[in-house]
Structure 1
Amino acid sequence: MRLRDPSHPYMQTRSGGLAASACAYMLTALICFAPLFAAAGPHRAGEIMLDPEAVATVEGHQLRYQLGTLFVPENRENPGSRIIGVGFARIKAPKPTGAPPVFWLPGGPGLSVLGAFTGEDAASRSRLKSWASYGAVGDLVVVEQRGYSIRGDMLSIEAPASPLDRPSSVKADSAAMIALARAAVATHRDKDLSGYTIVQLAADVDDLRQALGYEKISLFGGSFASQWSLAIIRLHPDIVARAVLSSVEPLDGFDIPSQVYAAIQRLAFDADRDRRLAAYLPPGGLMAAVREVHERFAKGPIRVTLAGEAGGEPRTVSLGAEDFQLALTSHTDNDGAEWPAFLLSIYHRHYDAWARETIQARAAGDMALIRPLIDTSSGISDARRHRVQTDPAVDWLGTWRFAIDIASAPAWPTPDLGDALRTPEESPTPVVFVHGDWDTSTPVENTTGLLPYFRNGHAIVVHRGGHDGPFYQLREQPAVKAALYDFLRTGDAKGLPVSVTLSPPEFSLPDFPAPEQLH
């Protein structure tokens, strides 16, 4: 299970939604047309509401789309459950292709993406351009997550600030998370928080499929969305034609520390050979720097004082061994270009940037509830728990990636889903896995461990690929990207390679002159 924010694993930003009224007519299910983000009046489970078709501009071209809300029970195990909204969007293919629609699932948990249709920022335009390209396959349906959708609830809790005068610790953050869980239950007494599980998310997708009139669907997702997709394949196997999954998280969650550490080693190997970084490297390279900093902080914490900004008071933060463990895999997402400079700055005792990030991470802020509700419920088997807790790389990475969820799970109301769901089983569903071997959030061994269970599966290992979607990881391989679209359209994976290699990134340099006489 990936550490979703390397600086602090639980802080999420909450965005808001608007409400308005609706009108309805009947098709397969009751379909309503209403203004954007509408959800007024009583609704029935399985009902969908569609806005009038809108138009977005993608690089000078018009893209017609529909925004909608799916209404579902908050907890299908409770017959009297309230009805909640889940946002979605549909982009119809310009011409019928005969292929199943692609259901595009966001990661997180706690990622809302429908704002891309109206956003003016570069990320929104890039996402919209990518979504438009699926027209060559068929219809595209983007599905948001219950409890974190701009067309439904955005459940959150105010997380208090963590103290700056002492180092971070897993023990302290575990206690804080337990307190937050209790506060969330008390704050949201009108909600059934036990309904926010990956099982319910999988059922939401099936309900939307039926409401839109599709017999089968294909799945596309990375990171948590891959785990969500695996749950759909497990629980609703007859509805899934095929899937493309990247940066995979297995249903038996929490990553093996030594596999994460191995991804760091692979990244360090290339960075050690970058001539521009050579003057900053200690003998032994970046992994020697990791060992030296680890030993330095084992002797005790340090205090870093930053000058006040805009006439403000100086701020001091205490950084310790567990802070370094938490920071060790930060700055490695995507192409890992920032990580060497970040680590070397700490190695050379330039702590200001790290201190600034830590102060920001320890500040008070909204925490999206969907993240701990889903992850603590998905949980971990006893066998895998033993493996992660006794893994030798815990000495280097600590227990941040699993201990807080394990400790706080009893305090969250979502039920443990059990090993029947977590244990891999054989599946005939055709799946293409795309995974980078520099991925320190969900290591590549997650994919290689799952592949034997998919007799129609195919894995593409991307050397130097980080934690990102398949098309970004394959950005230097246009023919392979085209073959992935062919797979989504036809199910044919014969033209896909088993591995590709990306060019080394242009690593960033530390923002200070290289020390002299390092060697």
Structure 2
Amino acid sequence: MIHTLLNRRAVLAAALAFPVLPLARASAQMASPSQAGPFRFKGWRGEETDAERGFFEVPEDRRDPGSRKIRLGYVRFASTAARPGPPIVYLAGGPGGEATGAATGPRFPIFMALRAVADVIAFDQRGTGLSNAIPERAAPTRQPPVFTQAGLTSWFRSELQSAWADWTKAGVAMSGYNTEQSADDIEDLRRQLGAEKIDLWGTSYGSHLALSVLKRHGGRVNRVALSSLEGQDQTVKRPARIDAYLRHVDALLATDPATRATVPDLLALMRRVHTRLEAQPVVTAVTLKGAPAEIRMGGFGVQMLAGGLIANPDTLAMLPGLYLALETGRTGVLTPFLGDVAGLLRLRGMPEAMDMASGISPRRLALVRREARSAVLGETLNFPMPQLLGAVPGVDLGEHFRAPIRIDHPALLVAGSLDGRTPLAEQDEVATQFRRKSRVIVENAGHNVFESHPDVQALLVRFFRGEAVADTRLALPPPKFRVT
């Protein structure tokens, strides 16, 4: 998916600190070195390890004989095993996350532990990190939009159309940035590594990509371990499923009498705030290209903020206090979440193109829009999808891409019960495609479930070693909600 737009790619740095902050450090570490070969990799909390940087070239759009070649990069952590198994390829979420960035964050110990099984490959997908060949676009010079549904939708559609034209003029084959092309990149990576087969380890959008790899190159895949599942037709999540999640959160609030007295009905509180602010946006202090500025924040913008907060328990805990403050007119509570708005509104190309290409089936789109009319967060969870549909014609991969498949590979599927980005009910649908699966549910964990509980790492190592892993339920303490 966290990330730039206020969407699942984790633009709200305070709301989704893990996807954003390690990536910022990774860019400084990894973007300038372009030379293949050994180097010292700086990981989590000052730890270092030996690693190897590698590159290979692929067509930017394999369907166009005239498209340019792009250079894709990865970092290899060599196995410590006497007889290593198939390389384990990490697929980051987003779309737009960097695998090399994830390896600098709290997931670093898992990368290191898996070396006991095989080489571990942090592969930056096309358009990210070491594999980014899309020119950076300057921050928009016009005034920011009003953060309402109409204002933000109009802004991003026009900005994307303008950016797409500029990138195309610069020689970028933007139509090549889709999940099928990325799946073919994984097959080319396998050849580059000289491996007969590979294992896949992915999260969120990385699971979406893994499903496409299995569909297109399943014979070259050995095992898969995936978390926070996103299915072939789940780029846009169902609003009704988010409502069910929020009702579960409200039930957790009810276990504390003092909190319940302060927030009698969380969903009703959220609806009141959204309705009032969408009708009368409030002026909010922000930074615009390094200088103090103001934006008008509507209910749609607050819904998007909530969509980031519900990803993980530590930020979910902020939700009641945020809405109580907004209802009582303390709108300054929004300022820490917005940061530099110029950065939030800058398009990157790869995430937008990937999501538009994965698209949404007509049947699901109708369902999403019907549910959104009454849902607490409406259509905000995956903004700017489905709002960008049709902004660039001809990029949708179609119904064959979104069709489910039967998967016979051994699979370990990990989920958190408090994941508000890919709710369990959505993940359950994806899991039915796997015939040889073990499921690990971590009670009270969120979207970043791999590093949420210490036992998950050991289960991953056992699974990739080929050992049997039974269905497992782990537990963490529930979040401590803040209402002041």
Q: TM-score range by the shorter chain?
A: 0.7 to 0.9
1:486: which partner in 2? Answer: 462
SS of residue matched to 2:58: strand
Find the partner of 2:8 among 3, 6, 15: 3
The amino acid across from 2:247 in the alignment is Q
Find the partner of 2:49 among 55, 59, 63: 63
1:88: which partner in 2? Answer: 74
Distance 2:48 2:481 in 1: 38
Distance 1:302 1:211 in 2: 53
Conservation of the 8 A alpha-carbon contact between 2:406 and 2:434: yes
Return the offset for 1:272. 3.4
Return the offset for 1:244. 1.1
Percent of aligned pairs with the same residue?
Answer: 26
Aligned residues between the structures: 463
2:209: which partner in 1? Answer: 228
Distance 1:19 1:414 in 2: 32
Residue 16 to residue 62, structure 1, CA distance change in 2 (3 Å): closer
1:73: which partner in 2? Answer: 59
2:4: which partner in 1? Answer: none
Distance 1:437 1:51 in 2: 41
1:417: which partner in 2? Answer: 397
Find the partner of 1:147 among 127, 147, 154: 127
1:23: which partner in 2? Answer: none
Distance 1:243 1:227 in 2: 12
2:474: which partner in 1? Answer: 500
Question: Superposition RMSD on alpha carbons, in Å?
Answer: 3.3
Conservation of the 8 A alpha-carbon contact between 1:105 and 1:219: yes
The amino acid across from 2:299 in the alignment is A
SS of residue matched to 1:145: coil
2:243: which partner in 1? Answer: 261
Distance 1:80 1:262 in 2: 48
Conservation of the 8 A alpha-carbon contact between 2:412 and 2:440: yes
Residue 241 to residue 396, structure 1, CA distance change in 2 (3 Å): same
Return the offset for 1:404. 4.1
Most deviating of 167-176 and 90-99: 167-176
Conservation of the 8 A alpha-carbon contact between 1:326 and 1:398: no
2:378: which partner in 1? Answer: 398
Conservation of the 8 A alpha-carbon contact between 1:102 and 1:140: yes
Distance 2:272 2:43 in 1: 52
The amino acid across from 1:103 in the alignment is V
Distance 1:113 1:392 in 2: 33
Find the partner of 2:349 among 360, 369, 374: 369
The amino acid across from 1:492 in the alignment is A
Distance 1:334 1:459 in 2: 20
2:308: which partner in 1? Answer: 330
Conservation of the 8 A alpha-carbon contact between 1:102 and 1:218: yes
Q: Answer 1 or 2: which has greater helix percent.
A: 2
Return the offset for 1:255. 0.4
Residue 435 to residue 361, structure 1, CA distance change in 2 (3 Å): farther
The amino acid across from 1:215 in the alignment is E
Residue 232 to residue 187, structure 1, CA distance change in 2 (3 Å): same
Return the offset for 1:91. 0.9
Unaligned runs of 5+ in 1: 21-35, 39-49, 118-123, 511-519
Conservation of the 8 A alpha-carbon contact between 1:219 and 1:242: yes
Q: Rg larger in 1 or in 2? A: 1
Most deviating of 203-212 and 51-60: 51-60
Return the offset for 1:270. 1.8
1:94-142 alpha-carbon deviations (Å, 9 max, x no partner): 123442221011112222343577xxxxxx3644333111112211011
Find the partner of 1:244 among 214, 218, 225: 225
1:307-344 alpha-carbon deviations (Å, 9 max, x no partner): 999xx87x554333323332332322222232232223
Unaligned runs of 5+ in 2: 2-6
Return the offset for 1:158. 3.5
Return the offset for 1:143. 0.5
1:51 equivalent to 2:37? Answer: yes
1:344: which partner in 2? Answer: 324
1:354 equivalent to 2:334? Answer: yes
Conservation of the 8 A alpha-carbon contact between 1:55 and 1:63: yes
1:158 equivalent to 2:154? Answer: no
Distance 2:387 2:126 in 1: 24
Most deviating of 333-342 and 213-222: 333-342
Conservation of the 8 A alpha-carbon contact between 2:287 and 2:294: no
1:173 equivalent to 2:155? Answer: no
Distance 2:46 2:146 in 1: 51
Conservation of the 8 A alpha-carbon contact between 2:89 and 2:121: yes
1:179-216 alpha-carbon deviations (Å, 9 max, x no partner): 22222233222111111110111111110111111111
SS of residue matched to 1:255: coil
Return the offset for 1:218. 1.1
Most deviating of 203-212 and 483-492: 483-492
Distance 1:168 1:61 in 2: 41
1:442 equivalent to 2:422? Answer: yes
Find the partner of 2:183 among 193, 196, 202: 202
1:271 equivalent to 2:253? Answer: yes
1:319 equivalent to 2:319? Answer: no
1:269-321 alpha-carbon deviations (Å, 9 max, x no partner): 22333466456x13x242342244345446x3143465999xx87x5543333
Distance 1:204 1:159 in 2: 30
Residue 116 to residue 258, structure 1, CA distance change in 2 (3 Å): closer
SS of residue matched to 2:432: helix
Return the offset for 1:55. 6.2
Distance 1:382 1:74 in 2: 28
1:460: which partner in 2? Answer: 440
Conservation of the 8 A alpha-carbon contact between 2:9 and 2:97: no
Return the offset for 1:159. 5.0
Residue 411 to residue 220, structure 1, CA distance change in 2 (3 Å): same
TM-score by length of 1: 0.79
Distance 2:45 2:302 in 1: 43
Conservation of the 8 A alpha-carbon contact between 1:433 and 1:459: yes
Residue 277 to residue 362, structure 1, CA distance change in 2 (3 Å): farther
Distance 2:383 2:108 in 1: 37
Distance 2:43 2:205 in 1: 29
SS of residue matched to 2:200: strand
Conservation of the 8 A alpha-carbon contact between 2:60 and 2:67: yes
Return the offset for 1:400. 2.6
Return the offset for 1:358. 4.6
Return the offset for 1:155. 4.0
Residue 195 to residue 275, structure 1, CA distance change in 2 (3 Å): same
Distance 1:95 1:61 in 2: 21
Distance 1:402 1:331 in 2: 13
Return the offset for 1:257. 0.5
Residue 212 to residue 435, structure 1, CA distance change in 2 (3 Å): same
Conservation of the 8 A alpha-carbon contact between 1:246 and 1:435: yes
Residue 125 to residue 185, structure 1, CA distance change in 2 (3 Å): closer
Residue 438 to residue 481, structure 1, CA distance change in 2 (3 Å): same
TM-score by length of 2: 0.85
1:432 equivalent to 2:437? Answer: no
